[in-house]
Amino acid sequence: MKFNLKDRFTSQLPADPILENSRRQVSNACFSYVTPKQTANPQLLHVSDDMLQTLGLTKKDSATKEFLNVFTGNSVMVDTKPYAMCYGGHQFGNWAGQLGDGRAINLAEVEHNNKIWALQLKGAGETPYSRTADGLAVLRSSVREYLCSEAMYHLGVPTTRALSLALTGDQVLRDMLYNGNAAYEKGAVVSRVAPSFLRFGSFQLLAAREDTATLKTLVDYTIKNHFSHLGDPSKETYIAFFKEVAERTLEMIVHWQRVGFVHGVMNTDNMSILGLTIDYGPYGWLEDYDVDWTPNTTDAENRRYRYSNQPNVGLWNLFQLANALFPLVNEAAPLEAILDDYKLGYDKASLKMMRSKIGLYTEFDSDFKLIQELEANLQLVETDMTIFYRTLANFNNKAPEEALKLLEDAYYNPDALTNAVKSKWNKWFTAYANRLELEHTAPEKRKQQMNLVNPKYVLRNYMSQLAIDAAENGDYTLINELYTILKQPYNEQQNHNKWFAKRPEWARHKVGCSMLSCSS
């Protein structure tokens, strides 16, 4: 296993001078050096063949003892110095101060095919930022993160990636629902990959501490290495940098809404500066089309991070980043203008996205109302979002009265389709059929186009839970099955049709299938 190692982050940014691994406040630094924890009996469960190739590795490499040891934290690559990143953030709208990589350790940066990737372990032991926690992760959360990182990539959603999933052989104590019932679980490690793991909170913490010198160093580093097309650092470049971060964030969230993904914990420390989905914790997919749903038990009361509010939270988080960058710009107007552009840009991008989901490729003013009425109807009866939109591609606009029968598999309780509800649907399908007549697109062509944006397969929580339950019993075949299916989420894959189905009733309130906690 041979990497072309780089050290941009550690060579260009200030390090914490204290080398002992003790919990502490870290000032005037962007990271702390730290060594991963040795594990009792590491065992590789799965490796992403896509990421192996992306990093210039082979399956033969992944079968070596060296690969196992490096990507479980049991050995450190020659000429590398692992580190944990320092950052802060707002959690559920409240400033939390210093947070940092409490259970993530960056191994190194590597270059392949002119792209540089940061390699990171999640669950590899404590760091100066672990606070009262142990820095470890358990199998259930690691399976979820591993599968979802790769699933999102193949859905076309900007995301961090995952390279491998491994057991550590250690037992980890966790209170899964924060209800005082702690229990030991199997420890695990996921190796994560991204061009950078910098977050909004990386900049916020420095601004909050009024450490403008380090803030400028970090922003200049970020522009030089990840936004070099913007030019040399200057006030104008800082503004352009913020504009592009806002645009990337907007694009990411539009994709979330398109596929029905709910992040669950959009704290500013979980927002990538590159506009990538990061930190897969209590996420979920909208199954019943309830726009107020959040998968996070911690957020159950206020529902700050519910599906319908994700675009607004994205804007709120960008406002916090603007505050952090203000000391380098010293002018509010251009930053405010970018935030205003986000609002208008989201509305425009969302409408375009929704048009594509229902097969409209020209623009009519009436489309907004048609989409509004569709979303209202979807909430009248418990309706599966993924199945509805995927099946809608089969709609024959010459027979709108037959549409409800066509879509009956999307309804969790068909008996709830009262005459009043049916009347609203029939009215909508008639309007939709009339609108499709203006497209002059052949039904088969429209179906092909719609199936490129409406996935057939997503990683529903019950699917993850089945894989977790099997893995807890030493059976890892379902992890591989789901990984394989989710590499082609827009393809029919008829032999996997059992996964194109509504959430089973047993999963409605089952822990891990409906609501989840932030517990690792």
Single out the residue of 360, 351, 203, 170 nearest to residue 271, CA to CA.
203
Percent of the chain with pLDDT over 70: 99
| Residue 513 located in a structural domain | no
pLDDT tens figures, 279-334: 999 999 999 999 999 999 899 899 999 999 999 999 999 999 999 999 999 999 99
Last residue in a domain, options 335, 356, 377: 356
Residue 442 has pLDDT above 80, yes or no: yes
Which pLDDT value is given to residue 518? 65
Q: How far apart are CA 341 and CA 247, in angstroms?
A: 9
Are 211 and 341 contained in the same domain? Answer: yes
Cβ(103)–Cβ(520) below 8 Å: yes
486 pLDDT more than 70 = yes
Range of the domain at 78: 4-197
C-beta of residue 451 within 8 angstroms of C-beta of residue 445: no
Q: Are residues 73 and 157 in the same domain?
A: yes
Q: Say whether both 153 and 277 belong to one domain.
A: no
Mean pLDDT of the chain: 95
pTM (two decimals) = 0.97
Q: How far apart are CA 462 and CA 56, in angstroms?
A: 34
pLDDT level of residue 464 (50, 70, 90 thresholds): very high
Chain center to CA of 471:
23
The reported pLDDT for the residue numbered 520 is 46
The average pLDDT across 229-242 equals: 98
- In this prediction, residue 519 has a pLDDT band, given cuts at 50, 70 and 90, of low
Phi-psi label, residue 167: left if phi above 0, alpha if psi -120 to 50, beta otherwise? beta
pLDDT at position 407 is 84
At residue 179 the predicted structure's pLDDT band, cuts being 50, 70 and 90, is: confident
Same domain as 235, residue 121: no
Q: What is the pLDDT of residue 440?
A: 87
183-228 pLDDT, tens per residue?
999 999 999 999 999 999 999 999 999 999 999 999 999 999 999 9
Give the domain-ending residue among 300, 326, 356.
356
Residue 514 pLDDT > 80 = no
Answer yes or no: is 449 within a domain: no
193 and 251, same structural domain? no
Q: How far apart (Å, rounded) are the C-alpha atoms in residues 59 and 45?
A: 14
Active site amino acids: 269
Q: What is the mean pLDDT of residues 49-55?
A: 96
Domains identified in the chain, total number? 4
**What is the pLDDT at residue 313?**
98
116 plus 81 within the same structural domain: yes
Assess if residue 32 is contained within a domain.
yes
Encode pLDDT of 340-389 as tens digits. 999 999 999 999 999 999 999 999 999 999 999 999 999 999 999 999 99
Q: At what angle do helices 367-378 and 332-357 cross, to 10 degrees?
A: 70
pLDDT at residue number 141: 95
How many C-beta neighbours within 10 Å does residue 315 have?
Answer: 18
Predicted confidence at residue 396, as pLDDT, reads: 83
- Please tell me the predicted confidence (pLDDT) of residue 513: 80
